[in-house]
Structure 1
Amino acid sequence: MVLATPHTNASAPLDRGAIESYFSRQLKLRHLQLLVALADRQTVAKVASALNVTQPAVSKMLGEMEKGIGVPLFERDGRRIRPTPHGECLIRHARELLLLAQRAGDELHAMSSGTGGRVEVGVLSVAAPILIPAAVGLFKQRAPSATVCLHEGTLDQLVPALRASQLDMIVGRSARAHATPEFLSEALFDDPTVIVVARTHPLARRKRLKWGDLAGLAWIVPSAGAPMHRHLLSVLETHGVETPVNMVESVVIDANVGMLQTYPMLGLLPRSLARHHEETGALKILPLSLGAALGPVSTTWRADAQDTPAAALFRGCLSDAAKMARV
Structure 2
Amino acid sequence: MRERNGIQEDGDLAYIFRGDLARREPSSILPLKTDIEAILAECLDGVTPRYGRFKMRQLALVLKLVDTGNLHDAAAALNMSQPAATKLLQEIEEALNAVLFIRQSRGMKPTPSGMMAARHAGFILAEIRKMQQDIDGLQNGITGYVRVGAMISTVPSPVTQALARMAEAYPTVEVSLHVGTSDVLLPEMNAGRLDFVVGSIAGAVGPEPLTYSPLIEDVAVVVASATNPILRQHNLTLKDVFSERWILPPAGAPELRSIEAAFNAAGLPLPVNSTRMASMIATATSLDATDTLAIVPESMYRYFAKFQAMGKVDVKLQAPTEPYGLINLTSRPLPPAAKALYDFISEVATQNARRSSGL
Trace 1:38-49 onto structure 2 (pairs within 5 A): 38-49=65-76
Q: How many residues align?
A: 311
Question: 1:167 — aligned with what?
Answer: 194
Trace 1:98-247 onto structure 2 (pairs within 5 A): 98-106=125-133, 108=135, 116-178=143-205, 182-241=209-268, 243-247=270-274
Question: 1:265 — aligned with what?
Answer: 292
1:211 is displaced (CA, Å) by 3.0
Structure-2 change in CA distance of 1:122 and 1:75 (3 Å): same
Of 125-134 and 53-62, the range deviating more from structure 2 = 53-62
Question: 1:250 — aligned with what?
Answer: 277
Residue identity (%): 28
CA contact (8 A) 1:126 1:173 kept: no
Q: 2:58 aligns with which of 22, 31, 40?
A: 31
Alpha-carbon distance in structure 2 between the residues aligned to 1:53 and 1:281: 55
Question: 1:306 — aligned with what?
Answer: 333
1:106-150 Cα shifts (integer Å, max 9, x gaps):
555566666623221111122123321111112222222222210
Of 92-101 and 281-290, the range deviating more from structure 2 = 281-290
1:215-241 Cα shifts (integer Å, max 9, x gaps):
311111111332333432342243244
1:190-236 Cα shifts (integer Å, max 9, x gaps):
21121112343222112332333213111111113323334323422
* TM-align CA RMSD: 3.1
Code of the residue aligned with 2:298 in structure 1: it is R
SS in structure 1 at match of 2:262: helix
Of 30-39 and 99-108, the range deviating more from structure 2 = 99-108
CA contact (8 A) 2:162 2:341 kept: yes
1:171 is displaced (CA, Å) by 0.6
CA contact (8 A) 1:19 1:69 kept: no
Alpha-carbon distance in structure 1 between the residues aligned to 2:67 and 2:167: 37
Gaps of 5+ in 2: 1-41
Gaps of 5+ in 1: 1-15
TM-score, normalization by structure 2: 0.74
1:321 is displaced (CA, Å) by 1.4
**Structure 1 runs (4+) greater than 6 angstroms displaced:** 16-20
CA contact (8 A) 2:218 2:297 kept: yes
1:160 is displaced (CA, Å) by 1.2
1:74 aligns with 2:105: no
Structure-2 change in CA distance of 1:52 and 1:225 (3 Å): closer
1:180 is displaced (CA, Å) by 9.0
SS in structure 1 at match of 2:327: strand
Of 221-230 and 78-87, the range deviating more from structure 2 = 78-87
1:275 is displaced (CA, Å) by 2.8
SS in structure 2 at match of 1:75: strand
Of 35-44 and 293-302, the range deviating more from structure 2 = 35-44
Alpha-carbon distance in structure 1 between the residues aligned to 2:88 and 2:307: 64
Of 49-58 and 141-150, the range deviating more from structure 2 = 49-58
SS in structure 2 at match of 1:264: coil
Which of structures 1 and 2 has the bigger CA Rg?
Answer: 1
Question: 2:10 — aligned with what?
Answer: none
